[in-house]
Chain A
Amino acid sequence: DAEITQSPRHKITETGRQVTLACHQTWNHNNMFWYRQDLGHGLRLIHYSYGVQDTNKGEVSDGYSVSRSNTEDLPLTLESAASSQTSVYFCASSEGLAGTTGELFFGEGSRLTVL
């Protein structure tokens, strides 16, 4: 079965360290997204990609970067982790965009704690 997997599921790091969260999907979807979930804010879009070599900033992109070198993977990098980036991160993919076949398929999440 096609799926979307995230790793690691749990990560504790220190302020200033570089952290990369991996996301791998086997749906062959062109569209991939990274969200963070925080109490009182719901799910907020960090970065997204509509295809290989395409990356775009979302509403909370500061301090994060992504790269898309193939269809299956969209790693999220925190260049210098800050305590404000302690959150649960969700990767998602979709076949189309809202209004077409916009249903998002989410991974199980990566809980990141920055001390």
Chain B
Amino acid sequence: DQQVKQNSPSLSVQEGRISILNCDYTNSMFDYFLWYKKYPAEGPTFLISISSIKDKNEDGRFTVFLNKSAKHLSLHIVPSQPGDSAVYFCAAAPSANNLFFGTGTRLTVIP
């Protein structure tokens, strides 16, 4: 059973606009959440994280929002750039434990 779900397999956005990628989880014990970015023929790379004591974490153009009551997190990319085109994986874990990954969302930023 998938404990971390990314229900949108793909997303297309115009360059300069906002990209919003969504992720839902089912395990209430999860308290650490990460986003990874993956280009073709490469391994995933860490993008941004958030712990359950926060509801927002920002790093440049990337912001992650966490809604614990809804068991939902989202990644906002503003402004979107063509180089952001990649597959984005959401991941979650209970503290000091292994990560569970979502199925990924393929983002295409159209120039």
- Give residues in A with beta carbon < 8 Å to B: 4, 33, 35, 40-45, 48, 58, 90, 92, 96-100, 102-109
Contact = CB atoms under 8 A, between A and B. Distances in A.
Contact of B89 (A42, A98, A103, A109): A42
* CB-CB nearest 10 A-B residue pairs: A106-B43, A98-B93, A99-B95, A43-B101, A42-B103, A98-B32, A97-B96, A99-B32, A103-B46, A42-B101
Contacts of A48: 98
A100 B44 contact: no
Interface string B1-33: 010101000000000000000000000000110
A99 B29 CA distance: 12
Q: How large is the interface on B (under 10, 10 to 19, 20 to 34, 35 or more residues)?
A: 20 to 34
Contact of B98 (A4, A98, A107): A98
A111 to B, nearest CB: 9
Nearest to A111: B41
A99 B46 contact: no
Contact of A104 (B96, B99, B102): B99
A41 B1 CA distance: 10
Contact of A98 (B4, B45, B96, B104): B96
B59 interface: no
A35 B2 CA distance: 15
B35 to A, nearest CB: 11
A44 B99 CA distance: 9
A108 B32 contact: no
